[in-house]
Amino acid sequence: MRLICSQPFMKTERRIEDNQQFTVETEEHLYLYNDRIETPTKSFTIKDVMDVTSKPLSAYYTFLYLHTIEGVWTFVVKSSPEHFITQYHKVK
């Protein structure tokens, strides 16, 4: 199937090494195809995704929500998710 667009999001992991806590932030992606949305750990068919919404968290971060039949999946994004959301609504 054809990739329509992708949305980068941040994954945050906390580690303790030598009694010091470190926060490691890595970038991963959501991929929108005409039949599914893929996360690094899960794939949802378009019919199983009821909506995609967002809410500003701060001046730099936004929550992106995938409303699915399995519940709401939350992703923290740095770039605007509006293009991803618009493309999802065109596919749906």
Q: Is pLDDT of 8 > 90?
A: yes
At residue 1 the predicted structure's pLDDT band, cuts being 50, 70 and 90, is confident
Mean pLDDT of the chain: 95
Task: Give the integer Cα–Cα distance in Å for 44 and 18.
Answer: 40
Render pLDDT for 22-64 as a digit per residue (tens, 0 to 9).
999 999 999 999 999 999 999 999 999 999 999 999 989 999 9
Structure confidence at residue 76 (pLDDT): 96
What does DSSP say about strands 71-77 and 43-45: parallel, antiparallel, or unpaired? unpaired
pTM of the entire predicted model: 0.88
On whether the CB atoms of residues 49 and 37 are closer than 8 A, the answer is yes
